[in-house]
Chains A and B, each alone.
Chain A
């Protein structure tokens, strides 16, 4: 019988408006905060996604640091969530769990159409995400990712490979959680004319600076951030400006068609800034913000990540504590967007939206 055909189009007997759904097979690399939020979103919105977009995501496999769970017939998302909550290891998934299996195994053993990369990578090498994504592309899979380190490192070769394979690479959740709600790349390709960007895209450093200007010591501020689960145990990447730098590289390569690497960013963290300096500035009506900046002078594009001093009524000065924001300077004026901290959810929805768009854009193959 035509089993393959039955797999792609399944007749649904539900009373939903949509009678049939396109089944899209996916695999997930990384099952931390974002991965979990994603699985939850897919499970929770299954009916709505089917109704609105006529498609259903079928998760064939997922990998975390313990190994993988992999089934050709799709995993049970509720069960997966239970296992992860109970043991913390997807390899404990009954029957289909495999200790020590890797993302490569998922890619080799399934014919998934989309690889969701929600893992994290080393900021300098971009690994293991970069290799995983290259592998996925060579297996003819579309990629959606929130792996900023891998993307900052390998955007050029990833996008080249994607073009070569005629598959899509989308990453709206990478640059920062402010962007996903803004379809910025569409407008840029329609002539938005972005000529510069200033952004507060790192929650930890912004929180620490905000609290220090309220009079808290650096140490207290970092502790608070850690207690709230925003700051890493080693907050150096955040406080030294590397996380922000990474996001600027992605934005410049993506929106300004640049070819930048992390080394091209002028990076200065907030670690040397003292409470005294911050207070002194405050008396003059000025505040410090840890800003990522992309400026253009003639043909040259400059990337910086540094504590910027500004007057208190500037848009970025109003971005406090856990808020994030981006200010786009465009040919016809500024656009400013500020969002509030919402955990891993925005990134998960970013992945979901990218995937839905891909299904809606890909050429009928």
Chain B
């Protein structure tokens, strides 16, 4: 059986997803038994719908030449709504990659709910929607008996981690710590090299590490959001951003704090933390100092890093320089493979 995919949002992640699709049809079928077609793709102008499957190469071509999917030959629909699309499309999966908003979670939350309503499995990388509304979305998915996967919303290198057997059966996780905000990490890293904070922040801005909304990076909210996503992904904690009680950014750190730490052979890092306190997950976004030979101290300024402490298996430490949309697009594919496995296991 060939599966229909509806994709909402056609930015970098969506286009990378299409590129993966383009080159690997045979391989995916042979290796993972995945046969799929894109039946509808929407951007802000409307979209293209064809239940026989849209040609991936044409999608990319239209997007790069006019920037508007509604210009897709024959199947383009100007201004078509998500609702109408879902009604018309013959699909099993909704890939939600619309732009994320950390204040409202929209339009991601509504898109996901509409997809669930139509009985589609959800694969999303929409951080805002997940950080603000995960418990509600999860409940809706359970009631409708569909799956919702979102490893693409987690910071790299976490999506690479197998989330099935190890955490579920083998290694119950106790604690997670992560340096997951590139901007804060860059600024602190430069401060350890002696640069003052204002200048380091300006550099980060020039390197495009600073978000349009600088509070997210500098006051610790981006890290907090990511920890909420991780808490739900790794611990099934059913939490939202409101459950993070302890959010501190790098706003109060001065050059002399950094110098003092260095004299004690320590590095200051901005980290997110999750701790399993007898079943209750405590979330934090704050500053912590690490010994100089700790993997977090030895990381590059542009890397993200994570430590997962599991009972019985010690600590898994991961870091990567991977950033941008390609890893998220791959992670969404991974989620789709996972969902297919689940369905087969359930005899669907």
Chain A residues in contact with chain B, CB under 8 A?
22, 41, 45, 48-49, 52-55, 180-184, 186-187, 189-192, 312-313, 315, 318, 330, 332-342, 345-346, 349, 352-353, 356-357, 359-364
Contact = CB atoms under 8 A, between A and B. Distances in A.
B255 interface: no
A177 to B, nearest CB: 9
B330 A356 contact: no
B207 interface: no
A361 B313 contact: no
B169 A349 contact: yes
A184 B160 contact: yes
B243 interface: no
Given A48-B169, A186-B334, A189-B31, A353 B346 contact: no
Contacts of A356: 164-165, 341, 345
B155 to A, nearest CB: 13
A54 B322 contact: no
A365 B156 CA distance: 37
Contact of A360 (B316, B323, B342): B342
Contacts of B322: 330, 332-333, 335
B314 interface: yes
Q: Which 7 A-B pairs have the closest CB atoms?
A: A360-B341, A340-B314, A333-B321, A353-B165, A335-B320, A349-B170, A342-B313
A318 B171 CA distance: 23
29 contacts: A41-B169, A41-B170, A45-B169, A48-B168, A53-B342, A55-B345, A182-B161, A183-B162, A186-B32, A189-B28, A191-B20, A191-B24, A191-B326, A313-B298, A315-B298, A332-B321, A332-B327, A334-B319, A337-B317, A337-B318, A338-B317, A339-B316, A349-B170, A352-B165, A356-B341, A359-B345, A361-B344, A362-B344, A364-B344
B178 to A, nearest CB: 14
B295 interface: yes
Given A191-B24, A336-B318, A352-B165, 17 more contacts: A53-B345, A186-B333, A187-B160, A191-B23, A315-B295, A332-B326, A334-B321, A335-B320, A339-B315, A339-B317, A340-B313, A349-B169, A349-B170, A352-B169, A353-B166, A356-B341, A361-B344
Contacts of B156: 335
Contacts of A192: 330
Interface of B: 20, 23-24, 27-28, 31-33, 156-157, 160-162, 164-166, 168-171, 293, 295, 298, 303, 312-324, 326-327, 330, 333-334, 337, 340-342, 344-347
A341 B314 contact: yes
B162 A353 contact: yes
Contact of A359 (B23, B31, B162, B344): B344
A191 B330 CA distance: 8
Contact of B293 (A318, A335, A364): A318
A54 B162 contact: no
B273 to A, nearest CB: 19
Contacts of A357: 341
A49 B171 CA distance: 14
A277 to B, nearest CB: 22
Given A53-B345, A352-B169, A342 B314 contact: yes
B312 A345 contact: yes
Contact of A190 (B161, B168, B321, B334): B334
Given A183-B334, A186-B337, A349 B165 contact: yes
Contacts of B340: 360-361
Given A55-B345, A332-B324, A333-B320, A190 B330 contact: yes
Nearest to B166: A181
A345 B326 contact: no
Nearest to B30: A163
Nearest to B327: A332
A321 B323 CA distance: 31
Contacts of A353: 162, 164-166
B169 A49 contact: yes
A336 B337 CA distance: 24
A169 B317 CA distance: 28
Nearest to A55: B345
Contacts of B337: 186
A189 B24 contact: yes
A332 B340 CA distance: 28
A181 B316 contact: yes
A75 to B, nearest CB: 21
B298 A318 contact: yes
Nearest to B338: A360
Nearest to A363: B33
Contacts of A361: 31-33, 340-341, 344
A92 B342 CA distance: 38
Contacts of A340: 313-316
Contact of B312 (A180, A313, A336, A342): A342
Given A183-B160, A341-B314, A360 B298 contact: no
B297 to A, nearest CB: 9
Contact of B160 (A182, A189, A362): A182
A189 B326 CA distance: 13
Nearest to B330: A190
Contacts of A190: 20, 24, 330, 333-334
Nearest to B157: A335
Contacts of B317: 336-339
Contacts of A189: 24, 27-28, 31
A289 to B, nearest CB: 14
Contacts of B345: 22, 53-55, 356, 359-360
B33 A336 contact: no
B293 to A, nearest CB: 6
A182 B165 CA distance: 11
Contacts of B347: 22, 54
Contacts of B316: 181, 337-340
Nearest to A49: B169
Given A190-B334, A335-B157, A180 B162 contact: yes
